[in-house]
Amino acid sequence: MIVYTCALASIRSFAPSDLTWLNLYLLLVGLFVGPKAIFTLCSSLGWVIRKTIIPTHRNYGHYIGLVAGVLAVAAYIYGLTIGIGRIRVRHIDVYFADLPKSFDGYRILQVSDLHLGTFDGWRKKILEAEMDSIRSQRYDLLCFTGDLQNMRPREVLAMRSVIAPAMRGTVSVLGNHDYAEYIKDSLARKEAMMRQLLTYECDSLEWTVLNNEHLTIYRKSRDANAVRPDSIVIVGTENDGLPPFPQRADWRKAFRGVGDKAFVVVLQHDPSAWERAVLPRTHAQLTLSGHTHGGQMQILGFRPTELSQHEDFGLYNHGGRYLYVTAGLGGLVPFRLNMPNEIAVITLHRKS
């Protein structure tokens, strides 16, 4: 395992181009290194307690460590097999006093973090099931909040036939993985790969990509005396993350021409931008994000992502302005434990 670790650490890119090597490494860590570490910790604590607190003839840390190690192996195998295939459709209702009347009941379906390179081999059937779940939903607008690929645009081309029929017409933004940041190459080569990804999204998938841009959606007003139709504005910015993640959002450009009284929905991959940029610098009523995957695991209500990100999963409210962070539909590491792949159906309501 030491040799394997050194070999992976020596490659230029963040991960090998063939993820089989990374997945095998993580499998070995989960089956052998992790359980042994748990057993060692429990055994050591048991020895300390035996010597200093409760003198006994036996080190009960051995038994606790054995049980904990076996449970850890079982949980890891579950997360790699059954857990990674679970799909949850989550329905969220949000209420606004300034929502245009004709958009009362408007449904936004949010999808995020597909990480298509993870779905090669037998996991392709999981992606197909996710697309079936998307097709079965009733919605007015389909939004994707970033991380379509793991590392390279060719992942998108390989899965085009699976995702294109179900997600045609999607409004999308880019995530940190979509900038080829995890490949050690020249800046020109990385920019070329990003342009290639944009071509695939716009032409092959028929998506609308908002790179620090916005689009307006109109609906016929329910007010018979109204001169103009009702509208909402969808603002999409490039990734706005804290180091080491890319910071390429241009909020001034994205909101240029958006009226102060417009109802605005922001698509931003990184939820940390909500407190840092969206709340203080815009008047957006609803922000949709991904990025965290909900930690891909939850144990007794705790998620690892809570340690680094306050708004890491679920719905957040700040004075009637909302942020929803979805758990996404994939991840570079194919593992899910008590945090299923998620499709979010967000229904907008007008407060009476």
- Least Cα distance to 180 among 156, 154, 151 occurs for 151
What secondary structure letter does DSSP report for 348? E
d(CA 150, CA 162) in angstroms, rounded, equals 17
The helix (H) or strand (E) run that includes residue 230 is: strand 230-236
pLDDT at 55: 84
Higher pLDDT, 182 or 138: 138
pLDDT band at 54 (very low <50, low <70, confident <90, very high): confident
d(CA 244, CA 100) in angstroms, rounded, equals 39
The helix (H) or strand (E) run that includes residue 218 is: strand 213-219
Residue 309 CA from chain centroid, whole number: 13
Per-residue model confidence as pLDDT tens digits over 274-323: 999 999 999 999 999 999 999 999 999 999 999 998 899 999 999 999 99
Average pLDDT of the segment spanning 56-63: 89
Taken in order 127, 132, 268, 310, is the CA torsion positive or negative? negative
Per-residue model confidence as pLDDT tens digits over 117-170: 999 889 999 999 999 999 999 999 999 999 999 999 999 999 999 999 999 999
d(CA 314, CA 252) in angstroms, rounded, equals 27
pLDDT at 295: 96
Mean pLDDT across the chain:
94
- Could you tell me the residue ranges of all domains in the chain? 2-80, 89-350
pLDDT at 46: 93
Residue 300 CA from chain centroid, whole number: 21
d(CA 351, CA 180) in angstroms, rounded, equals 43
pLDDT at 270: 97
Q: Dihedrals φ, ψ of 118, to 5°?
A: -80, -20
SS3 call for 213: strand
Site of tokens 């057993």: 39
Strands 208-209 and 230-236: unpaired
Average pLDDT of the segment spanning 23-35: 94
Which residues lie across from 217 on neighbouring strands? 232
pLDDT at 227: 75
Higher pLDDT, 267 or 183: 267
Residue 118 CA from chain centroid, whole number: 14
pLDDT band at 222 (very low <50, low <70, confident <90, very high): confident
Q: Which residues lie closer than 8 Å to 217 by C-beta, 6 or more apart? A: 141, 231, 232, 233, 234
pLDDT at 53: 86
SS3 call for 19: coil
d(CA 197, CA 140) in angstroms, rounded, equals 25
Per-residue model confidence as pLDDT tens digits over 201-210: 999 999 999 9
From the CB of residue 316, how many other CB atoms can be counted at a distance below 10 Å?
Answer: 18
For the chain, give the percent of residues with pLDDT over 70: 100
- Least Cα distance to 147 among 256, 244, 238 occurs for 238
Q: Which residues lie closer than 8 Å to 139 by C-beta, 6 or more apart? A: 107, 108, 109, 345
CATH 3.40.50 holds for 89-350: no
d(CA 298, CA 295) in angstroms, rounded, equals 7
How many helices (H) and strands (E) the chain has is answered by: 11, 12
pTM comes to 0.93
